Structure 1
């Protein structure tokens, strides 16, 4: 059983000014990370993804070397590490998700509102997808806490609603899952995130169909 195959994390659109504002160069690097992540996650053959994500982690590290207090870059480092873990699969990915968790927690400590609270979305997603003790740090109660906090910050966002819907359907709370997924699909498009939005909407549509089948 591949314990990490389903790990696919994405962040939200840029919104409020963070505690440590990105420079113009940092902003450009952030956009490059976002665009490349979407290309790898949705367009790159599965067997090539782990290596591609590993290279993207190196790019994120280089950006952080210049702006170590940039919560947005720390969030994206966590996101890339998480999806690299999903591409790697198995218990060998546990080290990657632990690094991702640390990066997301560091971002949250700097600016919990960064990227519309997407550190909460990403960390919440890890908590329900990673195995629990003694193998990993998975915790469904903590997952729901993080995901509902993300929704408090960004109630109409595509990603927080999608991941909350995914969490709820895994808990067999199908009526609530359907509502969350329908809200995800009603979310507004994010400028510059067209590929990521297209991929996420396809995932939400497929998951909603599964939920609907459970309710029949």
Structure 2
């Protein structure tokens, strides 16, 4: 029994040691993403997201089986694609989609279901066939799943609202936006939370 306890303790300790570098790498990516998106001028963002995309590729090569890193590389690629625009952005969102799908296979609840939120947002923002893979039907499925995992999250509610606005369902969207504003602060994500709240308030004003 004593040997079993020691073995278990050592295993858990090793897992914590291995997790620390991954957490640090994820924190670096998410902090830099928030800085670029919410603190830099618009005309600086494309080139900075391109640089961060390159950095995320290197990070993923270091942690190739990390669902968290896959999700953050996908978010960075998607945001970069949005700044880049045009058909040239299509390859970026296709890679982001593949990464999110793979992260779900590894850990569907990683980052509180963020892969489902990001996949859903891609499906309603990317053009449909024959240009892209966009699908409102699939967007609804993934965004609903994101809410099941994280019903009170600021992002899961925000993107559901944004999708509903696209669907001309303003009353439903308003309810999600108001709930998003009630989301608890996320430790270490103060810049992202502040920026997202401004986006939510802007949408509420439009409605």
TM over 0.5: yes
- The 5-angstrom pairing of residues 46-65 of structure 1 reads 46-65=42-61
| 2:164 match | 168
| 2:198 match | 202
CA drift of 1:30 comes to 0.5
Give the greater-gyration-radius structure (CA): 2
2:48 is the alignment partner of 1:75? no
Q: Deviations over 1:141-198 (max 9, x none)?
A: 1001000000000000000000000000110111110110000011111010000000
2:118 is the alignment partner of 1:122? yes
- The 5-angstrom pairing of residues 157-196 of structure 1 reads 157-196=153-192
Q: Is this contact kept in 2: 1:26–1:63, CA < 8 A?
A: no
SS across alignment from 1:201 = helix
CA drift of 1:48 comes to 2.0
SS across alignment from 1:172 = coil
**What TM-score does the superposition give when structure 2 sets the normalisation length?**
0.90
| 1:101 match | 97
Q: Structure 2, unaligned stretches of length 5 or more?
A: 1-14
CA drift of 1:45 comes to 2.0
Q: Structure 1, unaligned stretches of length 5 or more?
A: 1-19, 212-216
| 1:86 match | 82
RMSD after superposition: 1.3
How many residues were matched structurally?
Answer: 192
CA drift of 1:67 comes to 1.5
Aligned mates of 2:83, 2:109 — CA distance in 1: 28
Aligned mates of 1:150, 1:48 — CA distance in 2: 31
CA drift of 1:54 comes to 1.6
Aligned mates of 1:148, 1:186 — CA distance in 2: 19
Q: Which runs of 4+ in 1 moved over 4 A?
A: none
Which of structures 1 and 2 has the larger relative contact order (alpha carbons within 8 angstroms, sep 6+)? 1
